[in-house]
Amino acid sequence: MPWRLLRTVGLVPAALILTTIAVAAERGKSAGPSESLLILQIALLMALGRGLGEIMQRIGQPSVMGELLAGIILGPSLFGWIWPEAQAAIFPKTPEQKAMIDGIAQVGILLLLLLTGMETDLKLVRKVGKAAIAISIAGILVPFACGFALGEFLPDALLPNPQERLVASLFMGTALSISSVKIVAVVVREMNFMRRNVGQIIVATAVIDDTIGWIIIAVIFSLASHGTLDIASVAKAVLGTLAFLAISFTIGRRLVFQLIRWANDNLVSAAPVITVILVLMGVMALITHLIGVHTVLGAFVAGILVGESPILTRQIDERLRGLISSFFMPVFFGLAGLSADLPVLRDPSLLMLTGLLVVIASVGKFGGAFVGGTLGGLNARESLALASGMNARGSTEVIIATIGLSIGVLSQNLFTMIVTMAIVTTMAMPPMLRAALARLPMNEEEKERLEREEFEKRGFIANLERPLLAVDESPNATFAAHVAGLIAGMRGLPITVLHIGKHAEEQEKGRHESHEAVVKKAAETVSANGDGNAGSIDVVTRTGRAELGETIADEARKGFDLLVVGVAKVAAAKDRFDRKIEDIAATFDGPLAIVAAKGKHLKQPMPDALNILVPVSGSAVSKRGAEIAVALAGSGSLRVIYVATTRDKGAQRGTSRGLSQETGILKDTSDLAARYDVDITTTLRLNRAPEAAILREIDTTDVDLVVMGVDRIQADHLSFGGVADAVLRQSKVSVLLVSSGEARQAPPEKA
């Protein structure tokens, strides 16, 4: 199979090479730049780079290695050695032609740093911050000192400007000390170690490595641009960098979020959010350029801020990654490979120096990370795994070397040596890390945490990104705002409040608290209880100005994944919902949370605590209701009642297998409640109709809210089935119906 794939991969570049030579022959000896030649260069780098990247992935290596190898194959190292005339025709050295593809590569550097920033998980860094920072510092200082010392002893012939040896030595130290967070994260993720303790520390350390590395590169760039050690210019660069980082992670964080949300909610053109992200990247890169440091720092920080935006939808994320991975990465790394002239390593002295560089880089990074891991509290096996993972340079070193070559700090030979070092250390890392991780045992505490996280990851709340609250001016709307605030407060989700009442624009001031204020107050309650991340909750209020269906449809396209509805009237005659509820449901395809305030919640729509009853039956939608109930319970109480549905009764009642399943369902809910320190009581009701069991529980306990996970039933009107309808109409306490996103066929009537 690999040989067949290799043969297929080779056919496209071969055809492109012949086509390119024909085009070059037609151009004759014209010295002007050629757009057609640029297109063929790009197509060739993409085809061979992506093809070899596919092969690399199949043998357990990062795809970036294939893209680098594609450039080496097409460059003077192989193709230029076998057929120099053809290689010169395809990649001529003329400044105009070279500048065209170099411009694309420079944009590629910024986009690669944007992508790296987007993959940076600051929450993970905060979680294991102390250990990761200590490990990162030790893991950088040791190889940096080794690289700097090597730079100081390099022969003058290897330096483009021997009088600027200090800058070259600093570049060498940086190139040897920084790990590639992208490659480290990919291997750790492939090994299913991303949530393991040591896996989190490895990735967090690589993130800190990368961040420190780009700050160092930015400062060295400022130093290189002045040519000498100018204290004033270095101080300006350092202080400017610190000010840029401080502003970015305070004011800039919120500004980026606001811009992304504004583009997502107001622009109707195709992929407007991607345009805004790219413009933000460009602006922040220009700001760092004006400070006097390299533009890569601005692109990297922009990526971090974009990645932290709570409404960066998966679709937008995938589109942007697809553009960068399929186009810019093969071009940039292919050009880096083209710039590497491996035949120079036939010189024994250069080959020996390259080997020395690989050894110093590996021993320095491995030893520094191992020592850092020991000082950070890891045992010997964990420190070994950490040191193995941190030794991959990959794309990071190639970018650093490319910057050094472009500004004249590194010579062509030094560039080739660093690229070779990056390739060797990166290809050695995956098998070393896999072997080290495979020997790591899992303790009981870690096992319990992983099981809990896996259970939560499959849940509904954990995957919520952006709820929408649709309300009028009724007391029920205020209670719905309180419910929505509690849900959003669990994870600090941004929420939009949409007023849909007839008199929404002239809403009487002072009649009820602002719905926005209610949402924020509820979220603060969650934060005060220590159950959420409500400090960052963002609430926006809008007023519906069109017909109800059109208003909801306009909002739905903005990417909301839960609609909480609070209006004056919920149920109509017989088994029908009010017309307003049906109009809302008809234009929103996602999950609905319909609130019906009753009893004391009509007089006190913002209760200090909720005493909740949640029926469960084992279905996915009932589990969703249980998750919402746990999120809402907070400092209140939670009562879980198992009720067999019409579909379940005959198969489960009276059997030991059914009892075991019912007990397991109640235990799952209890475990979820325990995660959030919610008081819980469980009850089995097997010999009673579900609606009767639920209503009986309401009458005999002190609950004040029933939360039910329900399915939409395919019908000519909105329906959640007979059980939900009976509870909604007959319950004396408030009801919250949490529906699935898609309608299903109604179950057959029981015989």
Domain membership of residue 79 (yes or no) is yes
The number of domains in the chain is 3
Same-domain check for residues 190 and 311: yes
- Distance between CA atoms of residues 209 and 203, nearest Å: 10
Give, as one character, the DSSP assignment of residue 745. P
Per-residue model confidence as pLDDT tens digits over 375-399: 877 888 888 888 887 877 766 777 7
Query: Do 152 and 8 have their domain in common?
Result: no
Distance CA 590, CA 602 (A): 27
Whether residue 649 has pLDDT greater than 50: no
A 10 A CB-CB count for 97 gives 18
Extract long-range pairs of 83-92: CB within 8 Å, 24+ residues apart. 86/17, 86/21, 89/20, 89/21, 89/24, 89/25, 90/17, 90/20, 90/21, 90/24, 90/37, 90/40, 90/41, 90/44, 91/41, 91/338, 92/24, 92/37
- Last residue of a domain, which of 413, 438, 463? 438
**pLDDT recorded at residue 563:** 92
Q: What is the pLDDT of residue 32?
A: 62
Predicted local confidence at residue 15, as pLDDT: 54
- Counting residues of the chain whose pLDDT is more than 70, the rounded percentage is 79
Predicted local confidence at residue 284, as pLDDT:
92
**Each residue of 109-159: pLDDT tens digit?**
788 878 877 877 777 667 666 777 778 888 888 888 988 898 888 888 888
Sign of CA dihedral 92, 95, 99, 102: positive
Q: What is the pLDDT at residue 12?
A: 52
User: Region 220-237: what's the mean pLDDT?
Assistant: 67
pLDDT at 414: 86
CB atoms under 10 Å from CB of 613, counted, come to 27
Condensed to tens digits (0 to 9), the pLDDT of residues 147-189 reads: 889 888 888 888 888 887 888 888 888 888 877 666 676 667 6
Boundaries of domain holding 650: 609-751
Q: In this predicted model, which residue has the larger pLDDT, 234 or 533?
A: 234
Distance in angstroms (rounded) separating the CA atoms of residues 208 and 193: 19
The enclosing domain of 378 has a CATH number of: 1.20.1530.20
d(CA 304, CA 126): 14
Do 292 and 190 fall into the same domain? yes
Tell me if 547 is assigned to some domain: no
Transcribe 156-225 into DSSP letters.
Answer: GGG-S-GGGHHHHHHHHHHHHH---HHHHHHHHHHTT-TTSHHHHHHHHHHHHHHHHHHHHHHHHHHHHH
Do 370 and 432 lie in a common domain? Answer: yes
* Statement to judge: residues 50 and 142 lie in one domain: no
**Per-residue model confidence (pLDDT) at position 469:** 92
Residue 300 within a domain: yes
Weakest-pLDDT range from 113-117, 346-350, 351-355, 662-666: 662-666
Looking at residue 564, its amino acid is: V
Domain check: are 48 and 132 in the same one? no
Residue 541 domain flag? no
Do the domain assignments include residue 450? no
Q: Is residue 237 part of a domain?
A: yes
Residues 146 and 22 in one domain: no
**DSSP string over 279-345:** HHHHHHHHHHHHHTS-HHHHHHHHHHHHHT-TT--HHHHHHHHHHIIIIIHHHHHHHHHHH--GGGG
Residues 287 and 431 reside in one and the same domain: yes
Structure tokens that stand for 568 in this block: 């004056």
Which residues are paired to 613 by β-bridges?
639, 706
Shared domain for 301 and 249, answered yes or no, is yes
589-601 pLDDT, tens digit each: 888 999 999 989 9
User: 85 and 136 share a domain?
Assistant: no
CA distances from 129 to 177, 212, 365, 491 (A): 19, 14, 20, 20
463 domain-assigned:
no
Is residue 493, in this structure, part of any structural domain at all? no
Q: Do residue 644 and residue 737 come from a single domain?
A: yes
Residues 61 and 200 in one domain: no
* Token pair 């991303």 in the structure block, residue: 194
Look at residues 417, 438, 459 and tell me which one is the last residue of a structural domain: 438
CATH code for the domain of 667: 3.40.50.620
Residues above pLDDT 90, as percent of the chain: 6
pLDDT digits (tens, 9 = 90+) for 680-732: 777 776 656 888 888 988 988 889 999 998 888 877 788 888 888 889 999 99
Asked if the model's pLDDT at residue 744 lies above 60, the reply is no
Q: Is the pLDDT of residue 494 over 80?
A: yes
